[in-house]
Chain A
Amino acid sequence: MRLAYTEDQELFRDTVRDFLADRCTTADVRAAWAADTAISARWVELAKVGVTGIVIPEEHDGLGMGDEELAAVLVEAGRAALPEPLLESAVAAGLLAEFAPDAGWLAEIAAGRAAASVLLPGQRLAVEAAAADVLVIGLADGDLHVATPADCVLTARRSVDRSRKLFTVDFTPTARTLVASDTRRALARAADRGALGAAAQLLGLTRRMLDITVEYAKQRVQRGVPIGSHQSVQHHLANVLIKLEFARPVVLRAAYSLARDLPSAGRDVSMAKIYAGEAADLAARNCLQVHGAIGYTEEHDLQLFMKRAWALGTAWGDAGVHRDRIAADLLGDAPAPPTPAF
């Protein structure tokens, strides 16, 4: 029994962390807010670190890794509030690898020459649907389509997190775009990968919000003492750490289960999304409170992480969706839905 990443996995994760500390600063995140797309020159650099090809098979120039490594890297993406659609592209790539490996996209994504996005049954919003080179669209009837933005009517929507370029997608399926039918199981698994990835990012976001706020609480002086010496402030932050520390192993286990397609994987992923989401929610609230008015501005960086946390809290199944799934499984209220409906 060993609930921890391997040394190799940690090494890879640390490489990504260092890269992002350098190449994804809060100024970079703000730049993504202002741009039409968050996919920037950094995408190619991410590819060089291996990050765009984590779940892409080696024969298509990817790393041939799985959900454990993806989750490890996405924690770092969360910590940096990386604006690129790393998760969406990975979910899409996983489906491409299974159903359209020879369509030519995989090597392009692995090399950073292309980015993919995804729309699964129940989802109405797709991230970066306009700037992505390829859209993988799963329909409720189990048909899987591989399309380009030109095949869709896209309507831009504004996320609370302006670095998330969202679109509603009006897509008319054609025989040309259809690559497989009866893919419901794979689509459900893809949805779980998405929820796991969101959970992983939420962990990183929580850690970052906490770090920013601990620093602030040490430095901000009122009535002659640092605000962080007040117990009410200390307990706000201690509570965030407790939530975070208990969410971490839950996310780790979900990655483990999903990577091995264990029967409990769906439930484990739902639990991960709930725990990480709650940690991030509490972090956002308590960290804002500890900052006071400065935290209530767009100028302060806290908002970049707070808003990403809110967005990811609802994306890939909100807490209610995932609680329903676990309740159905544990309490037998209703048969477990095959795929979380978003």
Chain B
Amino acid sequence: MDLEFTEQEQEFRREARAWLTANVPAEPLPSMDTREGFLAHRAWERKLFDARWAVVSWPREYGGREAGLTEWLIFEEEYYRAGAPGRVSQNGIFLFAPTLFEFGTREQQDRYLPAMAAGEEIWVQGWSEPEAGSDLANVRSRAERDEERGGWRLSGQKIWSSRGTYGHRLFGLFRTDPGAQRHRGLTYFMVDLAAEGVTVRPIPQLDGEPGFAEVFLDDVFVPDADVLGGVDEGWKIMIATTGSERGLNLRSPGRFVAPANRLIELYRRDPRPAERDAVVRAWMDADAYRLFTFGTVTKLQAGGAIGADSSINKVFWSEMDVELHATALRLLGEAGELDDGDGGWLDGFLFALGGPIYAGTNEIQRNTIAERILGLPRAK
């Protein structure tokens, strides 16, 4: 075992910290789900990109630093420690990009990755539909062949697309073979949200801002060049993207260690002994998540895969996040209900509450753990 960071990694940490200290905005940006905040967050992404901090683990040619997993973890720790803004481009750079690197053609990568990394184009996920939530294989939005123009015509409806209100491009599954059952006959498409036939309806989330969108598609033309992977082979590619979402990429430990440390400060300023154990618990859970992630990184570096273990990961971070923020609100006492209060704890709480729902609900994750890891018989 070796829980030390190498000299090179420590140097990387110092460099990241120095840049973040000098550049993180002193005042929090407005919510990225408002028009103003969306622009401000994209400007921040641009700034990160210009300094090569937007996509540290990517190849240099796309603006990255080819950072290894450990360095990526270090960067994330420093990022959240510095109180830097949320990543408006996260569903692109953390979820879609790994899939694009794995399944995309060189031409597709060249076409989309640079603008994604620079925050010029914000990508949104288009999995869910009114009739396809946990049962994603029930996707009904369809794509019909347009031989003449060399592409597909997409029709149907996507819903709950995060950042879809202001975002630029959508990736998602559409049914290309209407005769095929369930998860067969689905294809992974990239769709320009400014294309003719696309209508976007904003949906306010719990915090009142239009963080969700419903996306209606009416005969939207998508060229063959925007099919990712093979026609009718979208399901397995989707698994790769959602695996990133539940696994390491979306929720690095730094995201939880930073608020856990802030929670400790909150308690120290105004101790409420009844909450002491909950505060300690929140801190320990964030620390445990960090260690668990170190274990995962160790496994990956030895050539292993995450696989169904990502379900364990997802249940843990999402429930920990809710508890952490609920504890903070209790510590605030009467001020806990204030939406204009200090520290952004209420916002954090509302945000955390989505965790057990998105990326596959925690009930579904527990089914996966039972069936795929423990080997219990499938539920009827």
| A interface residues (Cβ-Cβ under 8 A, vs B) | 1-6, 68, 210, 214, 217-218, 225-226, 228-231, 233-235, 237-239, 241-242, 245-250, 252-253, 255-256, 271, 274-275, 323, 326-327, 330-333
20 pairs, A vs B, C-beta closer than 8 Å: A3-B295, A4-B298, A4-B299, A214-B374, A225-B377, A229-B378, A229-B379, A233-B376, A234-B371, A235-B367, A238-B370, A241-B373, A242-B369, A246-B292, A248-B295, A249-B292, A256-B1, A326-B280, A330-B280, A333-B276
B106 in contact (CB, < 8 A): no
A286 nearest CB across to chain B (Å): 12
Known: A225-B380, A234-B379, A331-B267. A246 touches B316 (CB 8 A): yes
Q: Give Cα distance in the complex from A152 to B173, angstroms.
A: 75
Could you tell me how many residues of chain B have their Cβ less than 8 Å away from some Cβ of chain A?
Answer: 48
Q: Give Cα distance in the complex from A2 to B5, angstroms.
A: 9
Known: A241-B374, A331-B264. A231 touches B367 (CB 8 A): yes
Q: Are A4 and B374 in contact (CB under 8 A)?
A: no
Which of B44-52, B57-65, B89-97, B283-291 has 4 or more CB atoms under 8 Å from chain A?
Answer: B283-291
Contacts of A226 in B (CB 8 A): 376-377
Closest to A5 in B: B1
Question: In B332-380, which residues have CB < 8 Å from any A CB?
Answer: 363, 365-367, 369-371, 373-380
Known: A234-B371, A331-B280, A333-B276. A229 touches B376 (CB 8 A): yes
B315 in contact (CB, < 8 A): yes
Q: Are B277 and A323 in contact (CB under 8 A)?
A: yes
Q: Are B312 and A241 in contact (CB under 8 A)?
A: yes
Count, A-B residue pairs, CB within 8 A: 139
B268 in contact (CB, < 8 A): yes
Contacts of B370 in A (CB 8 A): 228, 231, 234-235, 237-238
Contacts of A246 in B (CB 8 A): 288-289, 292, 312, 316
Q: B193-231 vs A: 1/0 string, CB under 8 Å? A: 000000000000000000000000000000000000000
Given contacts A237-B374, A271-B284, 11 further A-B contacts (CB under 8 A): A2-B298, A229-B377, A229-B379, A231-B367, A234-B370, A241-B373, A245-B312, A249-B292, A252-B291, A252-B295, A332-B268
7 nearest A-B pairs in the assembled complex, by CB-CB distance: A234-B370, A249-B291, A238-B369, A228-B376, A238-B366, A3-B294, A229-B377
A120 nearest CB across to chain B (Å): 24
Residue of B284, B367, B371, B373 with most chain A CB atoms under a 10 A cut-off: B284
Contacts of A326 in B (CB 8 A): 280, 284
Q: Give Cα distance in the complex from A237 to B376, angstroms.
A: 10
Contacts of B287 in A (CB 8 A): 250, 271
Known: A228-B377, A249-B291. A235 touches B366 (CB 8 A): yes
B2 in contact (CB, < 8 A): yes
Q: Give Cα distance in the complex from A242 to B365, angstroms.
A: 11
Q: Are A218 and B375 in contact (CB under 8 A)?
A: yes
Q: Give Cα distance in the complex from A68 to B1, angstroms.
A: 9
Closest to B267 in A: A331
Contacts of A247 in B (CB 8 A): 288
Q: Give Cα distance in the complex from A135 to B363, angstroms.
A: 51
Q: Are B366 and A239 in contact (CB under 8 A)?
A: yes
Q: Give Cα distance in the complex from A235 to B368, angstroms.
A: 10
Contacts of B324 in A (CB 8 A): none
